[in-house]
Amino acid sequence: MTKVSRILMIAAAAAAFCSCAKQHVDTASDAAKREFDAWVAVKYPDAVPAGRGIYIISDTPGDGQAINPVSDRFAFVNYAWKDLEGNISATSDAGLAKQTGKYKPSDFYGSATWDLSSGSLFAGIYDAIKDMRVGGTREFISPIWLNNYSDYPTEEQFLKKFNAEDCKPSAIFKVTLLGMTADIVRYQIDSLERYIPREFGSKVDSSFLGYYYIRTAPPSDDLSLKDSTVYINYTGRLLNGQVFDTTVEDTAKLYNIYDSSKTYGPQRVSMGDSVDKLTLGSSSSSSGTPTTARTAAGLIRGFAYTVFNMKHHEKGSAVFVSSYGYSATGSGTKIPAYAPLRFDIELVDKPAD
């Protein structure tokens, strides 16, 4: 082999090695980061990098209490979530929703409750709000790899675990911090203690922690309804008065939640011999395992407990903390996380066929 041939072979081998090395380093996460950083540099050249890879666009400091990540587990916020084109994906602001054509009368708008504990909030959002003060507003850009619930110390570790299918797309968030609490149940109970006298004219003692029942019309008898079938009308609402569900057609129309595909009228309830066996309509109690929030049939605990303890023709209102409702998940866009609920319920006669 000539000297020239050996040089060419070495050069080819080096080129092949460099090519392999480049393919090894140039991962999907590397490409995503380069693209994201380039976009930020063009669109928001004055944005300030922070946390594990977010960029702060604007920051209006609050003059209230600072978040203490150790003791303040829950934050109350107003927020707007936009894609990188500026289109609203979600917001707690009714005015903004109306401006952008996203408003729905049946949706909840107002203060949202965010859990600040590890793994409960997008990593990028947590990085942005963890040092805010009450009254402050911060707008920031969060990359796709931080828009998930994982918790790693550095951006590099997020990128190593990056999987687009596990994340929400890169987004722009605007958050106003309204308040904090360490004990969300105590906070809700305090809210209910103020709400009940205002709505019903007198203070009502709780049946057990966080659950209140106000009888508004007496029953026609005192017979036990265990293992029987009864019929009920009900209306469910949030403490701000917003109705999210009802069996009464006129009520649905009044509160702009009428659904023409839904059949309104009294609903059949099979009581069973315990609250966990109560079923509504044609639902079955054969699937799932009861929890503190739901029965096996999928009924929230506060609702099921109320119906199970009512008598013929009785009317009443149950008001309870989110632990007996939809807890940390909420329900769709109508019921936010950690929302206390009120149900007005009446046991009625079986409707005529």
Q: Find all residues with CB under 8 Å of 202, minimum gap 6, and list them.
A: 196
Output the pTM of the full model: 0.84
Of the pLDDT bands very low, low, confident and very high (cuts 50, 70, 90), residue 3 is very low
Query: What sign for the dihedral angle of Cα 85, 86, 92, 97?
Result: negative
Report pLDDT digits (tens) over 279-313: 998 433 333 333 334 444 478 999 999 999 999 99
pLDDT one-digit tens code per residue, 205-245: 999 999 999 999 999 999 999 999 999 999 999 999 999 99
118 pLDDT above the threshold of 90: no
Confidence label for 28 from pLDDT (cuts 50, 70 and 90)? confident
Q: How would residue 27 be classed by pLDDT, with cut points 50, 70 and 90?
A: confident
Name the residue among 286, 316, 306 with its Cα closest to residue 298. 286
**CATH number of 28-182, picked from 3.90.660.10, 3.10.50.40, 1.20.120.80, 3.30.420.40:** 3.10.50.40
Displacement of CA 132 from its chain's centroid (Å): 21
What amino acid is encoded at 61 in this protein? P
Residue-wise pLDDT tens digits, 67-106: 987 888 999 999 999 999 999 999 999 999 999 999 998 8
Between residues 284 and 48, which one has the greater pLDDT?
48
Three-state DSSP at 177 gives strand
For domain 185-348, the CATH architecture is Roll (3.10)
- Mean pLDDT along residues 145-151: 95
- Residue 277 one-letter amino acid: K
> Contact at 8 Å (CB) between 331 and 340?
no
Question: In the chain, where does the domain assigned CATH 3.10.50.40 lie?
Answer: 28-182, 185-348
Distances (CA, A) of 197 to 69, 190, 202, 203, 341: 34, 12, 4, 5, 16
Q: How many Å apart are CA 321 and CA 327, to the nearest integer?
A: 8
